[in-house]
Amino acid sequence: MKKILIVEDDPSAKQIYRDFLDRFKNLELYEESDGEAGFETAKKILPDLIVLDNRMPNLSGEQAAKKLKAEPSTSSIPVVMITAMALDKRQIDLIKLDVNEFIQHPFSPWLFQSTLEKYLGPLAEISLDSGE
Domain that holds residue 16: 2-120
User: H or E stretch including 91?
Assistant: helix 89-95
Model pLDDT for residues 86-131, shown as the tens digit of each residue: 777 767 776 777 889 888 878 888 999 999 999 999 998 886 655 5
Provide the domain count of the chain.
1
Could you tell me where the beta strands, DSSP code E, fall in 8-113? Answer: 27-32, 49-53, 79-83, 101-104
| Banded pLDDT at 48 (limits 50, 70, 90) | very high
Q: Which of 27-36, 55-64, 92-101 has the lowest average pLDDT?
A: 92-101
Q: Is residue 102 part of a domain?
A: yes
Q: Percent of the chain scored above 70 by pLDDT?
A: 91
CATH number assigned to the domain comprising residue 85: 3.40.50.2300
DSSP letter assigned to residue 124: -
